[in-house]
Amino acid sequence: MRTIKIIDDIVKDGLSTIAEGYEIVPDAEGADAILMRSTDIHGMEVPDSVRCIARAGAGVNNIPHERLAEQGVVVFNTPGANSNAVKELVVGLLLMGSRDVLGGMRWCREHEDDPDAYAEAEASKKAFVGREVADRRIGVVGLGAVGSKVANACVDLGMEVCGYDPYLSVDHAWQLSRDVTPVEDLDELCRGCDYLTVHVPRKEDTVGMIGAAQLSLLNPGAVVLNYAREDVVDEDAMEAALASGQVQRFFTDFATPRSLHMPHTYVTPHTGAGTVEAEASCARMAVDELVDYLDNGNITNSVNYPTCHMGVCRGASRVACLHANVPNMIGQITAVLADASANVQRMTNENAGRAAYTMFDTDEHLEPAIIERLSSIPNMWRVRVIK
């Protein structure tokens, strides 16, 4: 029986793909895997029993995945599984940001007991006049799963769309409308924009990337949306830009103590991915990743280990070695196998960044002493006997 500890609220129907032979357990201690969403686990001691963690969602800044790689824990996320949900909300808010929809609705509510409201509305509606988004310029920062969908939707709305993403993947480039203009410099992207929307992961080079300089390059009265992470947009700079009118409205998914008190700021409580469809598809993808890793050693969508597939083991045994991406690891692993006269049926090695993964099938089970020798190779982080 394999065991999974669930942290956060994972929707039940998303768990439907958990295979037989799996059990949800109340504690991480002793569990084989953790399934989670946004809880910050930087301060958590991840028990040695845990072989993998799947984040049902995109952002992994809440997980110390580099440290966990060295602990032999594979961390997964679910790229793209919630991107349509974010796109739909961002497009809705973009339209709301162009018209004072909320102000108009507030006016109506305030006049709910006024018998002349219907007639007064005609006189008052001038106060809520907005603008159309068609032909306006929007800058999209980050053209991944969410950003590319937002950019394409803005093209469909008739906007002039520019995008900035120095690390754009080939897959996402293929998905992008040819009407999106790529811009190679962030400041150039911001210059003359009426709208700016941010869709990058939180990392060293993105924290504070939208600051005073970038906001000053927007057209006066611009609308800014942050459905990425709270500190990608510098709050000091944003508050000043809102106070001066340089930014007319700011939509953010992050209820920080500061954003909740900023003028002309509309805060949602991290509900960018909050649809039944997105929650279920993230959970299903995360469960599939965990199960394929625990059962077969295959790695799909990991953020700290390379992609690696060897299908289902047809030999007597399958072993996976999780180790540092340094020279001579394969040489040392095969030397141990040669000493043991092990007959290797299939073997694969992949690396990504600082981590590497070697997996092999043998036609006999290896003695515990051989596994011990593999484990004691310097820079070996974990050896798993999968079958």
Ligand X SMILES: O=C(O)[C@H](O)COP(=O)(O)O
Ligand Y SMILES: NC(=O)c1ccc[n+]([C@@H]2O[C@H](COP(=O)([O-])OP(=O)(O)OC[C@H]3O[C@@H](n4cnc5c(N)ncnc54)[C@H](O)[C@@H]3O)[C@@H](O)[C@H]2O)c1
CA distance 346 to 245: 64
Report yes or no: 116 and 304 within 8 Å, Cβ to Cβ: no
* The token pair that represents 324 in the structure block: 């540092």
The reply on whether position 286 binds ligand Y by CB under 6 A is no
Site string for ligand Y, 325-364 (x = CB under 6 A): ----------------------------------------
- Touching ligand Y, residues 133-162 (CB under 6 A): 141-147
Q: How far is the CB of 37 from ligand X (least distance, A)?
A: 4
Report yes or no: 150 and 199 within 8 Å, Cβ to Cβ: yes
* The token pair that represents 275 in the structure block: 């649809």
Span from 197-205, 240-248, 301-309, 324-332 in contact with ligand Y (CB under 6 A): 197-205
Q: Count Cβ atoms below 10 Å from residue 26 Cβ, excluding itself.
A: 9
- Touching ligand X, residues 48-77 (CB under 6 A): 57-59
Question: Which residue carries 């942050």 as its tokens?
Answer: 226
CA distance 5 to 17: 16
- Touching ligand X, residues 262-321 (CB under 6 A): 270, 272-273
* The token pair that represents 266 in the structure block: 């509309």
Report yes or no: 351 and 306 within 8 Å, Cβ to Cβ: yes
Span from 16-24, 167-175, 301-309, 376-384 in contact with ligand Y (CB under 6 A): 167-175
In the sheet with 247-252, reading across from the earlier edge strand, the strands are: 180-182, 160-164, 137-141, 195-198, 222-226, 247-252, 265-267
Position among 5, 65, 137, 229 found at the interface with ligand Y (CB under 6 A): 229
Position among 47, 59, 208, 315 found at the interface with ligand Y (CB under 6 A): 59
The reply on whether position 168 binds ligand Y by CB under 6 A is yes
Question: Which residue carries 């803005």 as its tokens?
Answer: 154
Closest CB to ligand X among residues 37, 51: 37
Q: Residues interacting with ligand X, by CB under 6 A?
A: 37-38, 57-59, 82, 270, 272-273
Q: Residues interacting with ligand Y, by CB under 6 A?
A: 58-59, 79, 82-83, 86, 141-147, 164-169, 172, 199-202, 205-206, 227-229, 253, 270, 272-273
